[in-house]
Amino acid sequence: MSIRKAVIPAAGLGTRFLPATKRVPKELLPIVDVPTIQYIVKEAVDSGIEEIIFITGRGKSAIVDHFDHAPELERKLEEQGKHELLESILEVANMASMVSVRQRDPRGLGHAVLCAKDVIGDEPFVVLLGDDLVDDPTPCSRQMIDVFNKYGKSVAALMRVAEEDVPKFGIVGGHSIDERVYELDTMVEKPDVESAPSNLAIVGRYILKPEIFKYLEETKPGKGGEIQLTDAMARMMKVEGFVGYEFSGKRYDAGDKFGFLQANIAYGMKRRDIAPRLKAYMRELIKGS
Ligand code: G1P
C-alpha cells in the first residue's frame, strides 16, 4: 500500500528557545529564511506524501496560516513586480493538502501521534519530528518508505550517537539484516548509558503501520510522565516486527540552540546569495579568536 499521509507533531511549547518562542511557534523559527517546519513539509512532499496532518496546540495557529494563501501579500508582491518572492510564497501555499488536529493536553509524543488516528484511518503513514532536519539528495522519508516497501514492517530512522548522548534518545537493539537495515528486538526511551542496548538512536522519522494506534491507546505514561511513542512501538515490535534503518544524510537538531546555529550556517553555505560572504566572515571570526 502506498504511503500518502504524514503526521507532523507541532504542539510542543518550545521552552528551549524562550524568549523567542513566547509568542512565535518554535516550528516557525527560520533556518536562513525558511521556517524549520517548511523543510519538514518539503521533505514529506518530495517523498511522495499527499496529505500533511499537523498536531497543534494552543498558540500554534500561525503554523497552519503559514501554509495558506496570503491574498493581500500576494497582490502587493504582484503589483511591485517581485516575482521571485511571490513564487516562493505561492509554492508554500500549494505544497500539499493539510489538516490540523488539536492536541488539547500536551501528554507526550505518543499521545500526539494518537491524535491523528481518525485522520489516518487504516493505512501506514510517516511521522516527521520538526526538530530533526535531515539533509540528503534523497529525502530521509523517501529512503524510509523504500525500506518499508521492501520489508513490509514499520521502520524507525537510526543514527549512531556518542555515549554521552545516549540518554537523550530512544535507543534500539537488534541485528543487522542488510546494509543499513536492522531487525529490532529492543527499544528503550532515553535509557542510562549503562542499561542502553546499543548506541543506535531513533531520530525523528518513522513509518508506522496503523496498528500503532491500538498500542498507543494502551500505553501508560512512561519516561517523564508522558505517553511515549517508543513504548508503544516496543510493544508493537514484539507482535508485528519492526526494522531500523540507518539513513543517509546529515542530521541537524534544530530543537537545540547549537544545532539550530549549525543548521543556519550549513544551509547558509549552500546558498549562492550568502555563501561567499558567510565564508569570508567565518574566516575573519576564526582569525580574531
Ligand atoms: C523524541 C523521541 C525519542 C527520539 C527523539 C529524536 O524525543 O521520544 O525517542 O530519539 O525524539 O529526536 P524528544 O527529543 O522529543 O524528547
Tell whether ligand 1 has an atom less than 6 A from the beta carbon of residue 109.
yes
The whole-number pLDDT of residue 12 equals 87
Mean pLDDT, rounded, for 157-167 = 97
Q: Are the beta carbons of 172 and 187 closer than 8 angstroms?
A: yes
Mean pLDDT, rounded, for 171-187 = 97
Tell whether ligand 1 has an atom less than 6 A from the beta carbon of residue 204.
yes
Q: Are the beta carbons of 155 and 148 closer than 8 angstroms?
A: yes
Tell whether ligand 1 has an atom less than 6 A from the beta carbon of residue 184.
no
Q: What is the percentage of the chain residues whose pLDDT exceeds 70? A: 100
pLDDT band for position 224 (cuts 50, 70, 90) = very high
pLDDT digits (tens, 9 = 90+) for 189-202: 999 999 999 999 99
Mean pLDDT, rounded, for 23-31 = 96
Rounded-to-integer distance, Cα 207 and Cα 145, Å? 7
pTM: 0.96
| pLDDT above 90 for 2 | no
Q: What is the percentage of the chain residues whose pLDDT exceeds 90? A: 96
Mean pLDDT, rounded, for 15-27 = 94
Distances (CA, A) of 88 to 38, 102, 147, 169, 190: 12, 28, 32, 35, 39
pLDDT band for position 288 (cuts 50, 70, 90) = confident
Distance of CA 8 from the midpoint of ligand 1 (Å): 13
Domain boundaries, the chain: 5-255, 256-289
pLDDT band for position 289 (cuts 50, 70, 90) = confident
The whole-number pLDDT of residue 97 equals 94
Tell whether ligand 1 has an atom less than 6 A from the beta carbon of residue 170.
yes
Distance of CA 80 from the midpoint of ligand 1 (Å): 44
pLDDT digits (tens, 9 = 90+) for 44-97: 999 999 999 999 999 899 999 999 999 999 999 999 999 999 999 999 999 999
210-212-216 Cα angle (round to 5): 135
| pLDDT above 80 for 129 | yes
Distances (CA, A) of 173 to 73, 195, 247, 271: 51, 11, 16, 39
Closest CA to 156 of 113, 220, 106: 113
Domain 5-255 has CATH 3.40.50.670: no
pLDDT band for position 14 (cuts 50, 70, 90) = confident
pLDDT band for position 223 (cuts 50, 70, 90) = very high
84-85-86 Cα angle (round to 5): 90
